[in-house]
Amino acid sequence: MTGLFDRLRETRVSRARRPAATAAAMLIGIFLACGFVGLRFNFSPSLPIGLYVTTTDGRANLVEFCPAEPFAALAIMRGYRDPGTCRDGAAPLLKPVVASAGDVVELSARGVSVNGVLLPNTAPLSKDTRDRPLEPWPFGRYIVDPETVWVASSYHPRSFDSRYFGPLSTAAIRDRLKPLLTL
């Protein structure tokens, strides 16, 4: 009788669940293993889509960090960050460092200038893609303090970066990255 009931309970859906669950577990395992060995996937438009690798090279200008409050909560609430490994439960951000200690940063309606050079695609926007208001960091001239950096993407004009949250503490930097395979 047991075999009869097993066949009655087995449906197309129940037969598909096991392979789907196995595939999901394998993908999660691969994703976790990649993180453990220092590989990072980027699907955000702030950088080229692709695979990045952590490095101990202090000259690498890409950094992974968890933003500080209140900007971390804003990024989560608005969906700028996916679920991830930061303390707040969201994914870290990957951004290029554009200015470090001693550099002069000017933030204006035109964008971010570093040592007198305007970076392309860095003009702060007044609204995000869903027409919600965005507040830029106060416009002005800043000399970058030791133990801080400014991060900004000139790759895409809608990047959530220092034009909105100002300087980043170097203590917030989790890893430095180099591109491995990008599109």
Least reliable range by pLDDT among 19-28, 29-38, 44-53, 130-139: 29-38
Spell out the long-range contacts of 82-91 with Cβ–Cβ below 8 A and sequence spacing 24 or more: 85/35, 90/66
Residue 152's contacts (CB-CB under 8 Å, 6 or more residues apart) are: 95, 96, 98, 112, 119, 122, 159, 161, 162, 163
For the cut 60, the answer to whether the pLDDT of residue 172 exceeds it is: yes
Cα–Cα nearest to 105, from 135, 60, 144, 157: 144
Query: Distance between CA 173 and CA 55 in Å, rounded?
Result: 12
Q: How confident is the model at residue 82 (pLDDT cuts 50, 70, 90)?
A: very high
CB 94 within 8 A of CB 40: yes
Query: Distance between CA 48 and CA 45 in Å, rounded?
Result: 7
Sequence letter at residue 37: V
Per-chain mean pLDDT for the chain: 89
pTM of the predicted model as reported, rounded to 2 decimal places: 0.82
* CATH class of this structure's domain 38-182: mainly beta
The secondary structure element, H or E, covering residue 51 is strand 50-55
pLDDT at position 38 is 85
For the cut 70, the answer to whether the pLDDT of residue 81 exceeds it is: yes
Query: Distance between CA 100 and CA 98 in Å, rounded?
Result: 7
- Return the percentage of the chain with pLDDT > 70, whole number: 81
